[in-house]
Structures are given as C-alpha cells and as structure tokens.
Amino acid sequence: MKGIVWKYGDNVNTDVIYAGKYTYVILPPEEMAKHALEDLDPEFARLVRPGDVIVAGKNFGCGSSREQAAACLKYAGVQAVVAKSFARIYYRNAINLGLPVLQSAEAVEALQAGDEVEVDFAAGKIRRGGGEFSFPSFPPSVLGILEAGGLVEYTKKKLGKA
C-alpha cells in the first residue's frame, strides 16, 4: 500500500499525539481520529489519507500510557509509524492495537515530508522511488499478536473464544 510521508522530530510525546482532555472520554474511532496530533500539527487530522506513513526521530510516543495515542493514528488511516526508536509503552500499545511500528534510522534519515512510499510488510521493506530500506523482523511473541490482528483477537483465540 502506498502513502505519503508526514515527518516529525525526536521525542514526539503522547500529549501532542492525543491530548489529555480527550483521554478519559470514551470516543468512537472516527472522533479519536479527528484529534490525532492536534497539538503537534493541527493540519494533520484534516489532510491525512489512508495509507499515509508517519516518520519520526527517536523515542516516538514518550510520556503517558494512553492507548488512544496509538489508536487515533490507526483510525486516521496511518499505515505505519517509522521511527529511530519508540517509547516502550507506545510500542506495546501499537502492537496490541495492530498499528505497525517500524524501527529504521536509515529510513528516517532519508525520507522527507511529502515523499510517496510503499510499505511491504512481508518483505520487511519500505520503498521510495528506486530506493528501499529494511526494518527488523518482530520477535515471535509480538508477531503472533500482529498476525492475529491485535491483542484482543490474539487473546480470544487463546481463550478459545474466537
């Protein structure tokens, strides 16, 4: 799937991804998507298209454990977040919700806002024009959750409820 790159810096925190004032209200997915990155890039939620990719520096998603910071990007249509590194709770939340989080410093250095990219999950590649960047494969425990489509489906299978 192809999409456009949205590029941000280091330490993009959960408050600017999804503000605290919405965190304790239970909102439907389309409403959550409307507030994505509100305090970082107020234009993002209006202009993002399905398949777009967020590219950021180190420690993406630092701060709160709020899961909506992953959910709002998924519901906004973001195909994947590519970063130099991720904050650990954000990483878990993204996997648990089925939002791919890909670590590639090389891709982050090279990709620019507005680039058109394609993410090939099977091959572990991000492609732009002629070039391509690899991202490491997930550990087996994590892959199982992603393959099931998130932790809810994974757990249902484990419980024999799927």
Partner 1 sequence: MGLTFSEKILGSQAGEVVTVSPDFVLSHDNSAAIIQEFKKFGLSRVRRPDKIVIVLDHIVPASEEKYAQNHKSVREFVSEQGISRFFDVHRGVCHQVFIEEGFALPGRLVVGSDSHTTSYGALGAFAAGIGRTETAAIWATDEIWLRVPETIKIEFVGKFPPAVSAKDAALKIIGDGGADMADYRAVEFGGPAAKDFSVASRFVLCNMAAEMGAKNGYFPPDGVTRLWLGGRAKEAFQAVVSDPDALFEKTLTYDLSTLLPQVACPHSVDNVKPVTEVEGTKIHQGLIGTCTNGRLEDLEAAATILKGRKIHGEVRCLVLPASQEVYLEASKLGLLTVFAQAGCLILNPGCGPCLGAHQGLMAAGEVTLSTANRNFKGRMGSREAQIYLASPATVAASVLAGAITDPRKVLQ
Sole residue written with tokens 């992603």: 146
**Is there binding between residue 49 and partner 1 (CB under 8 A)?**
no
> Does 59 contact partner 1 by CB under 8 A?
yes
Nearest C-alpha neighbor of 45 from the set 57, 32, 53, 33 = 33
From residue 111 to residue 140, what is the string marking binding to partner 1 with x (rule CB under 8 A)?
Answer: ----------------------------xx
Using CB under 8 A as the binding rule, whether residue 24 contacts partner 1 is answered as yes
Q: What is the rounded (10 degree) CA torsion for 19, 20, 23, 24?
A: -150
The size of the interface with partner 1 (CB under 8 A), counted in residues, is 46
Q: Which of 1, 2, 20, 50 binds partner 1 (CB under 8 A)?
A: 20
100 binds partner 1 (CB under 8 A): no
Q: At what angle do helices 88-97 and 140-148 cross, to 10 degrees?
A: 40
Q: Is the Cα dihedral 30, 66, 1, 146 positive or negative?
A: negative
Q: Classify strands 53-56 and 80-83 as parallel, antiparallel or unpaired.
A: parallel
Of the residues 62, 76, 108, 119, which one makes contact with partner 1 according to CB under 8 A: 62
User: At its nearest, how many Å lie between partner 1 and the CB of residue 12?
Assistant: 10
Q: Does 92 bind partner 1 (CB under 8 A)?
A: yes
Q: Kindly identify the residues of this chain, within the stretch 26-45, that bind partner 1 according to CB under 8 A.
A: 26, 38-40
At residue 132, what are phi and psi to the nearest 5 degrees?
Answer: -145, 155
